[in-house]
Each structure stands twice: as structure tokens, then as C-alpha cells.
Structure 1
Amino acid sequence: MHPVQDEAALRRDLAAAYRLAAHFQWDDTIYTHFSVRLPGAEPRFLINPFGMMFEEIRASDLIVVDMHGKVIGDSPCNVAGFTIHSAVHMGRDDAHCVIHTHTLAGMAVAALDEGLLQLNQISAEFHGNLGYHDYEGIALDLGERERIVASLGQHPALILRHHGLLTVGATVADAFYTMFYLNRACEIQQAVLGMNPHPRLIPEALSAHAERQFAKAVGERQILWQAWLRKLERLDPSYKE
């Protein structure tokens, strides 16, 4: 069970996720979004204001949005970002953090009929833990929200076909960890298929075995998150402002 974080701590963690994503080159200019649910009776979440680059975002820049799309403050919120993030926050009580990316590798795998292949140890972590959502155009239709939630199910990750990747977690650390390794699995697949269109796959039973091994080490995500925060302190600590 993770301790409940106050708004200030959530702002720092989410801003850190944006800065780290820029460092890992996951950003898509001013597009794609990360969000985290705020504590309290009224359902609200923090998200990036539309128009800022990931490398610029500070804790104080994040805006508060309710589940009806009302922004508390003067900064704008991207409509497609609201559709996707509000859908998951409304549909999954445990999805406190939602991360969505348009990385090259993620979008490449999202364009394949077979999706993510069992090619390596990293992809094995997603064996049975990955949903798929068919493309419906730019996410401007609020009616798509229930279909996004249905496609995600109880999985920690979702491939949005022809679009990108999405991960969820009880904390920013959990969702970021999942995105890091989902994207890495996609990068490996992109590299492997560029070498051989008929690669050797991990046998089903071994993928299932490796996934169970990964499930026993979820506590390590918080250790890794602290290591990433130390890296960010060395790179640029202004994210906390």
C-alpha cells in the first residue's frame, strides 16, 4: 500500500516525470500528456497545460482539471488529452497516474497487427498484462472514453493502435516504470524486426514464468524512481519549482 501524497508532492513527481520523459526523448513537441489524480472527495487531476514543452514543465505549471473538463485557472487543456486521461481516471480507481506517449518505437509497434511480440525478457513482463484499443481518430469524442476503459481492462498498459502507448499506476513511479519498459520492449522489437522479419519468440510457458517473476519485484519500482530523481537533480532540479 502506497502512502497518500499531498498535492505538492504529486506536483513534484509529475513534473519530474515530464522532465525525465524529455530526457529520454519521449516527447512529441507540445503534445501527449501525463496526469495524476489529486486526493479529496472531488475527482480532479493534474495535467500539463497545453503549449508547454516537457523540458519546461515545473511543478507550479501543472493545471488542475475536473472530470467535466473544467480547468481551475487560466491555462488551457488539450481536448484530446482530457478525453483520454479523464476516461482512465474515471474508469479505474487504482489508476492514480496515467502516462501517454507518441514515441517512434511505440507508434511503430502500434501499427502492427500482432502488436508487442514476446521477443525478450523485457517484453515478457507484459505477457498477459497489455490491452489494445482500436484507432477511432483524434480523441475528441467523449463517447470514446468508455471504449478506452474497456480496452484497458485491468491491465497496467495499453497499446492505442496507430497512435501510441499508455500506462497506468498507483503512483507516478509505477506508471513511469511501466512506460519506460514498455517503450524499451517496443524499441527492441523495432530493432529485431529490422534485422529479421521472422524472429525467434519466447515460448508461451517461459513468458508466463518470467512475468510471474517480475510481479514479485514490484517494490523495486520505488527504488528505481528515487534513482531517476537523483539523476534529475544532477541534470536540472528546477522541475520542483
Structure 2
Amino acid sequence: MQSHQEQDQDKALRKQEWQARCDLAAAYRLVALFGWDDLVFTHLSARVPGPEHHFLINPYGLLFHEITASSLVKVDQEGNVVQAGGLPRVNPAGFTIHSAIHMGREDAGAVMHLHASDGVAVSAHRDGLLPLSQTAMLCLDHVAYHDYEGVALNLEERERLIRDIGDKSMLILRNHGVLTTGQDVPETFTYLYFLMKACEIQVKAQACGPTWIPSDEAIATTRDQSQSLGKAAKLTWPALLRLLDSKNPGYAV
């Protein structure tokens, strides 16, 4: 028999989980809206509030614009499905990548990984992300790199993933794609937007011919100014939800 305090705690955790589900479902649909999805592949995840160390991820087989809060799959750190709202399958590569970050970083409330073309193009560039735009310079101090090892099915790669990302919020997976992490879905998506926009600008700029690199002083100044980048989520996320509600509502069911 639960005490009133335990019942209140359970109720609060369920409410927090539902909010995480709604935010994550919204993030999936926003990825589709921006054209960053890759059929049923790639993956976004969110930590489930509570002591169990579970996280939410997409059911393997749904397109991103189809994801709803209740369709998300809850898994444990071993990849076992704890709760499925429909399709009980998860992408094995998704489990490898996301479990690594969630297990290795206590501050990783959400993790987002994409194969979007411009992100993959920059990941394959010898010099990685270059300071060709203000957007890129705002990202530079947050970016780490991880070398390609094949499709992420080897659980041993998790140790190297967490080693390479360190305390950064953005990870460029060489020849593969991009990844961001933050304290929650809104912050993680905001990092993702800035990183993807920086990659898109770089691809376009390099296609135009020789590029201009700002001074070291300007790059250093912008790096310093980027330290509060994640806080932009307080403004960006409500605006993004309004955009989604006008374009593809129905995620919060």
C-alpha cells in the first residue's frame, strides 16, 4: 500500500514522463518538417524521469511525421522494451548510440542523431565544421568528433562514443552524421538546429568557390558569446511548437 507521499511522487513522475513524451514526439515531427529525416532511420531519445534509468525512443518502422507521444517506446539500458505503445521494435544502432550517451552523461536528458545530407557532408569534410558563418562560430566550442567504425551495432563502440563527446553538446560522427545532447528535448533540439544550419551554410558557401575565414579574434569572441547557446531554447521551443501546431498537430496523443 503506497503512502500519500509515494502516490504524489508517482503522479508527478507520470506527469513529467508525459511531458517528455510530448516534447520528444514534437521533436520527431519538427525533424520531418525541416526535411532532416531519413525514412525510418536515425533516432531521437529522451531520458524518462525517475530512478529506473529508462529512456524513450522511436518505434522502428514509423516515419518521423507519424510519431506521437504514446507511440514512443520505453527501453532500459540493456535495450529491453519496457513499454511499447504500438510497434515494439527499436533500431539496434539507435540503441547503441543513445544508450552510450544516456549511460555516460548524467546531464544527457535527450539525444538527437541525424543523417541529414548537409550534416553528413560536413562530417565527411577533412576539416569538419569551419568558421564560415556566425552560426558555425556559435557552435565551434560545443563540437567534438567521433571517427567512423561502421554501422553502430557493436556495443563496445559506446565507450569510444562517450570518450569522444566528452562534455560537449554536439558530436560530428565522421562520414555518418551529427548528434546533439542537452538537459532536455528543447535544449537538445536547439543545439541540433544551430548545428544543422551551420552545416547547411557551409555546404552552400563552399559550393560558391573560395571562402572567407574571419579573424582569430572574431572567432574567439564568438566562441565566448556562445556559452549560453542552450538557453535560447526558452525562446525557440515555444515558437517551434506553435509552428508545429500550425503544420502538423496531433503529436501529443
**How high is the TM-score relative to the length of structure 1?**
0.95
Please give the alpha-carbon distance, in whole angstroms, between the structure 2 residues aligned to 1:11 and 1:129.
26
Deviations 1:89-125 (A, max 9, x none): 0011111100000001000001111000000100011
Counterpart of 1:94 in structure 2: which amino acid? D
Q: Aligned partner of 2:144: which letter?
A: G
1:165-204 residue pairs with structure 2 within 5 A?
165-196=178-209, 198-204=210-216
Q: Secondary structure at the match of 2:198?
A: helix
| Inter-partner Cα distance in structure 2 for 1:132 and 1:126 | 13
Residue 205 of structure 1: how far off its partner (Å): 2.3
- Residue 30 of structure 2 corresponds to 20
Residue 158 (structure 1) aligns with: 171
5+ residue gaps, structure 2, are 1-12
Q: CA deviation at 1:213?
A: 1.8
- Select the structure that is richer in helix: 2
1-structure distance, mates of 2:250, 2:219: 41
Given the alignment of the two structures, is residue 128 of structure 1 paired with residue 141 of structure 2, yes or no? Answer: yes
User: Would you say the 8 A contact 1:84–1:145 is kept in 2?
Assistant: yes
Quote the offset at 1:203 in angstroms.
2.1
Q: Which stretch shifts more, 96-105 or 216-225?
A: 216-225
Partner of 2:153: 140
State the 4+ residue runs in structure 1 displaced beyond 4 angstroms.
none
Q: Distance in 1 between matches of 2:67 and 2:186?
A: 17
Query: Could you tell me how far 1:38 is from its partner in structure 2?
Result: 0.7
Q: 1:175-217 CA distances to partner (integer Å, 9 max, x unpaired)?
A: 1011111011000100011111x31112222112112223245
Q: Which residue of 2 aligns with 1:55?
A: 65
Query: Is the Cα contact below 8 Å between 1:100 and 1:167 reproduced in 2?
Result: yes
3-state SS of 1:16 partner? helix
Contact 2:190 2:230 in 1 (8 A): no
Q: How many residues align?
A: 237
TM-align CA RMSD: 1.3
Quick check: 2:139–2:194 contact (8 Å CA) kept in 1? no
CA displacement at 1:233 relative to structure 2 = 1.1
1:82-101 superposed matches below 5 A: 82-101=95-114
Identity of aligned residues (%): 44
Amino acid at match of 1:19: R
